[in-house]
Structure 1
C-alpha cells in the first residue's frame, strides 16, 4: 500500500484528504505542522509527500528544497495560488507535480497514481521499494538514504516476501516456505534467528529499528 504524508495547515482539509486517500487504498498520515516537519517526514518514510505551499512560518517550496538534501521522495504540491512563477519555482526546487485548490479529488488521485507509475518505472522489476528502502534483487543489496548494505540469501528472501506485501501480515509458515520450500524442514527458531540478524543490520547500518514488525501469534509485516 502506497503511503502518503500530508502536510497541510488546515486541519479540516488535512483530515478530509486523509480519509479520501484511504478510500482509494492509499495509506495516509497527517503531519503535525507545529513540530519539526523535516524530522517528521524523514522518520515517516512515506512513498509520496503531499505538501501545501503556504504553511505558517515556512514556505512549502523552501521546505521542499531542504527535504531534497535528505529525501528523493516524490512531492506533489497543493496550493491556492496558480501563479506561474511559483509553479516554476516549485518544480525547480524539487517538486514533482503541482495542483491548485480547489481541485477535483479525482484529479488528485490521478496525479498520485501517475507518481506511483513513475516510481515503478524508475525502479524496474528488479527493485522493490518500501518506505524509502530499496531491495535490489539481482545484486542482493539493500539501499536507504544513500547507504548500502549487503544481505544474505535468506535475508533477501525474507525482505522480498515482506516488501512485496507491505502492510500485510505474513505468517511464519509462509516465510519458511519461501526460504526453505517447507514449513517443517528446519527448526522454527531458525527463522527467528534470521529475522533477528536482519533487524540488527537494519538498525546498525540504516538506523531503522521499526522496519520489520511482529504481530504476536500471527507473523511479520512491514
Structure 2
C-alpha cells in the first residue's frame, strides 16, 4: 500500500481525492496549507505527493522545493494554473508531472501509477536523536553529552520499533507481540516498566517526556 500526501485548499476536492485514493487501496494523508504539507512530509515521508500550487500560505513551488530538500519522492502538481510559464516553474523546481484542473480522475491515477513505478531514493538525513542523545540503530549505540548510554537488548527492540514509526502511534499490543511474542499481548505492565527506565536514560525530564510518549490505554509514540 503506497502512502500518498495530498495537498489542496479546496475541502471538497481534498475529500474527493482522499476517498478515491482509499478506494484504490492507497494510504492517504491530507494537508490544506503548505506548512501542514511540509510538517506532514517531515513526520511521515510519503511515497508520492499530489500538490496544488494555489495554497493560502505558501506558493506551491516553495513546497516543492521544501519537499525536494529532504526527499526524492514523485510530486504531481494538480493546479488550475494552465499557463506554460507556471508549468515550467513547477517542473524546474522538482515536480515530476503537472495536471491541470479540471481533470479526469482516471488520468490522474494513471499518472500516479506511472511515477510510483520509478525508483525512489531518500536523501540521507542526520542521525535520529532523542533530545541530546544521538541514536545509531544499526550499531545499537546511544551517545549523549556525557558519552555512551547503555540500553538492554529488550530496550533496543522497543526503541527500534518506535523509531521506525516516527510520529505514529504504535499500539501497545503490537509492541508486546513483536518484542515478547503473541502470548504477551495482555502484559501491558512490561511496557510501562521498560518505558519508564528508557525515559530515565534518554529524556531530559522523565516525568514530562517529549520524545517517548505514552498514549494511555492505547500505545506509545516516538516524537522526533
What is the TM-score normalised by the length of structure 1?
A: 0.57
Distance 1:30 1:83, change over 3 A: same
- Could you tell me which residue of structure 2 aligns to residue 59 of structure 1? 59
- Could you tell me which residue of structure 2 aligns to residue 86 of structure 1? 86
- Could you tell me which residue of structure 2 aligns to residue 145 of structure 1? none
Distance 1:213 1:79, change over 3 A: farther
Q: For residues 211 and 76 of structure 1, what CA distance do their matches in structure 2 show? A: 35
1:20 deviates by: 1.5
- Could you tell me which residue of structure 2 aligns to residue 43 of structure 1? 39
- The runs of at least 4 aligned residues of structure 1 exceeding 6 Å deviation read 166-169, 210-213
Asked if 1 retains the 8 angstrom alpha-carbon contact of 2:22 and 2:28, the reply is yes
Matches within 5 A, 1:111-126: 111-118=111-118, 122=121
1:52 deviates by: 0.9
Distance 1:91 1:160, change over 3 A: farther
- Could you tell me which residue of structure 1 aligns to residue 77 of structure 2? 77
What is the TM-score normalised by the length of structure 2?
A: 0.56
Distance 1:116 1:170, change over 3 A: farther
Whose radius of gyration is greater, 1 or 2?
Answer: 2
Matches within 5 A, 1:94-173: 94-118=94-118, 122=121, 138-139=138-139, 153-154=153-154, 157-158=157-158, 163=164, 170=171, 172=173
Give structure 1 stretches of 5+ with no counterpart. 124-134, 143-149
1:60 deviates by: 1.5
Q: For residues 7 and 151 of structure 1, what CA distance do their matches in structure 2 show? A: 42
Give structure 2 stretches of 5+ with no counterpart. 123-134, 143-148
What do residues 130-150 of structure 1 show as CA deviations (whole Å, max 9, x unaligned)?
Answer: xxxxx99755589xxxxxxx9
- Could you tell me which residue of structure 2 aligns to residue 24 of structure 1? 24
